Structure 1
Amino acid sequence: MQSRSGISVLAATFYRRSGGHDSQQPCLSACIAGSTMSTASVIDCLQGSCLCGAVTYQISSRPKAVTHCHCTMCQKQHGAAFATYASVPKPDFRYLSGEDRLTSFRSSNRVTRKFCSVCGANIEWHGSTDYPDWVSFTLATLDMPFTSYKAKHVHLASKVCWLDQTTS
């Protein structure tokens, strides 16, 4: 554990590193509000947004299960060879603005995907029967730096033929 003054210095450094935009301040304030806090707690508080900025969200725990999904649903939804997601417990994912601008699409009998109705950016999906208390969000919508030390490729049977996985 670090002292509050140590956390303040760390938060200021993280704030500058993340671009120092005013939009990051509420997240840092919420993370620093506790009387004692580990370094990981400040770094794990992240914010993201859609392409047009209408939808913003906050993650209050370290994202887990970073996955590059090659299924055809993700390919179609993203218009790309694969989609990259990370997951957090549902209570740790919170919309800061634009929740009324989200459109939901039930892509299967159990999965609901959400995207911005203004710009079309994919934000999240939920409904996994294996992990019903978790939400997966599109990692590329984060506005702050995040480093994953482990990521896996899934549904490789439907990988597009024009993508060489060794260079992805």
Structure 2
Amino acid sequence: MAIRGSCLCGSVHYEITGSFALAGHCHCSICRKANGAAYVSWGIIDPEQFRWTAGQDHIAQYESSPGKQRCFCRQCGASLASSHGGRVSEVVLGSVDGDPGTRPLEHIFVDSKAIWHDITDELPRHGEWPPGMGL
């Protein structure tokens, strides 16, 4: 069964034909500013299993760090995904329509988390990238 997602205004839609390899909460300052929240929940996917299904002309991209483009709807501003080398490999879990079939397993970049936010769950915490990760 495919995982589907969309932006706030409904202009942009996507589909993932597989499942998420991993999901987690990122507390880095870039994710906080891009999403206007204490952290953003990301799901890692196989880029071969992702496709935009509607609204490609509404997708804007911003290079937030070298080689990483953040994809968002140019009409409503909703954050949707990130691409590396032009291929979508991360999806904002909040943009998924329905159950993404995964749950976040960790917090990353907690060394730069918002001072006003307290992490209250028992998920593992990493100061930066978890060992072996570094996308």
TM range (shorter): 0.7 to 0.9
Which residue of structure 1 aligns with residue 75 of structure 2? Answer: 118
In the TM superposition, what are the counterparts of 1:24-43 in structure 2 within 5 Å?
Answer: 42=1
From 157, 160, 166, give the equivalent of 2:114.
160
Relative to its length, the structure with more helix (as a share) is 1
Alpha-carbon distance between aligned partners in 2 of 1:78 and 1:136, rounded to the nearest angstrom: 14
Q: Percent identity?
A: 31
Which residue of structure 2 aligns with residue 48 of structure 1? Answer: 5
In the TM superposition, what are the counterparts of 1:38-117 in structure 2 within 5 Å?
Answer: 42=1, 45-117=2-74
Show structure 1 runs of 5+ residues with no match: 1-41
Alpha-carbon distance between aligned partners in 1 of 2:36 and 2:83, rounded to the nearest angstrom: 20
Aligned residues: 122
Contact 2:82 2:89 in 1 (8 A): yes
How far did 1:167 drift? Answer: 4.9
1:104–1:55 CA distance, 2 compared to 1 (3 A)? same
Contact 1:71 1:158 in 2 (8 A): yes
Question: Is 1:138 matched up with 2:92?
Answer: yes
Residues 84-128 of structure 1 show CA distances to partners (whole Å, capped at 9, x for unaligned) of: 110111111111100111001011112111100000000111228
Question: RMSD across aligned C-alpha pairs, in angstroms?
Answer: 1.9
Contact 1:70 1:155 in 2 (8 A): yes
Contact 2:82 2:88 in 1 (8 A): no
Contact 2:81 2:91 in 1 (8 A): yes
TM-score using structure 2 length: 0.83
How far did 1:68 drift? Answer: 0.4
Show structure 2 runs of 5+ residues with no match: 123-135
Alpha-carbon distance between aligned partners in 2 of 1:69 and 1:84, rounded to the nearest angstrom: 6
Contact 2:26 2:41 in 1 (8 A): yes
1:167–1:151 CA distance, 2 compared to 1 (3 A)? closer
Contact 1:63 1:88 in 2 (8 A): yes
Bigger radius of gyration among the two = 1
Contact 1:87 1:134 in 2 (8 A): no
